Amino acid sequence: MENTKNPLLCDPETGACELPQADSAEKITLAKLETTAAQITYFTDPICSSCWGIEPQLRRLKLEFGNQIHIDYRMGGLLPDWSYNSGGISKPSDVSAHWDEVSPYYDMPIDGNIWLEDPLWSSYPPSIAFKAVQMQSPEKAGAFLRIIREMVFLEKKNICKWEHLSAAASSLTLNVEQLKLDMESQAKAHFEQDLKLARTSGVRAFPTLFFGEGINASVLVGARPYEQMKSLLLKQYPKLEAMPYSKDWDYLFTKFPSLTAREFAEISGKERKQAEAELQQLTAAGKLQEFKTRNGSIWRKK
């Protein structure tokens, strides 16, 4: 039977972007990382809308557990190119309305007009760029991924283009020339390794998170509530303790340079409407700067 799933049509109910593969999952082969921290292996993609949808939960997890956890980001290869036609998607413009539909579902701003104005031809270039950043500065890789996601979901920038990838790298004071060299050489091999690891680990959708290593790892697929994510982490690592942290807006914007209202609500513990009202008040007071899109806003500290 033909598989009609398309990875760019993410299912809001399952919270996952599924790959068009029908073969059965293989045995998980995740190896133990060289770290004493709790291991989380995160299979994702720069243009995965469901992955953008779990940013609030992931940010809270990082705040509550800090250096007790290590998130190993792996690229999954969501969009190789446009040489296929499945699931009602045959061209970039088909994605536009879908992104506008899932934006309110995740309560995260996404502007689908990029697929009409400056569509991406693949998610591979930004994925390879991410692997190149990992090679150069592992501690800055997560920040780089966040920046290029904001570019594509909010700013309607085609992150296949070098001008945007280099701008993201420059904002983190990375060596841009080295980044370009690595993208054209070793980073491609690292990306291929990620794709192979995804296949051999049975990954069929994004986001997929493995808590722990090997066949005993707990698996979370799709955008899920924070408590479910936390529960799987503690199931694997029961000795971990959630740490108290300041809910003050200034501290939170020190930890994260940009926040959506949904993210601010999640990490501050406030109701969603109360969180956005506070962000608007801080903007009016000149302490924050709001970047508006058709489907929501993001705030940055001035």
- The pLDDT assigned to 14 comes to 82
The two three-digit tokens of residue 9, written as one number:
């049509």
- The pLDDT assigned to 214 comes to 85
* pLDDT tens by residue, 105-124: 999 999 999 999 999 999 99
Q: What is the mean pLDDT of residues 281-289?
A: 98
CATH architecture of 17-216: 3-Layer(aba) Sandwich (3.40)
* pLDDT tens by residue, 131-162: 999 999 999 999 999 999 999 999 999 999 99
The two three-digit tokens of residue 254, written as one number:
């020190």
Q: What is the mean pLDDT of the chain?
A: 92
CATH topology of domain 249-301: Arc Repressor Mutant, subunit A (1.10.10)
Distance CA 40, CA 296 (A): 30
pLDDT band at 21 (very low <50, low <70, confident <90, very high): low
* pLDDT tens by residue, 231-270: 999 999 999 999 999 999 999 999 999 999 999 999 999 9
pLDDT band at 24 (very low <50, low <70, confident <90, very high): very low
DSSP characters for 202-219?
Answer: T--EESEEEESSGGG-EE
- The pLDDT assigned to 2 comes to 38
The two three-digit tokens of residue 153, written as one number:
């979901």
Neighbouring residues of 301: CB distance < 8 A, sequence distance ≥ 6: 250, 253, 254, 257, 287, 288, 289
Domain boundaries, given as residue ranges, for the chain: 17-216, 249-301
Distance CA 75, CA 241 (A): 29
pLDDT band at 22 (very low <50, low <70, confident <90, very high): very low
Quick check: 172 and 147 in contact, CB under 8 A? yes
pLDDT band at 94 (very low <50, low <70, confident <90, very high): confident
* pLDDT tens by residue, 168-227: 999 999 999 999 999 999 999 999 999 999 999 999 999 999 999 888 999 999 999 999
- The pLDDT assigned to 1 comes to 29
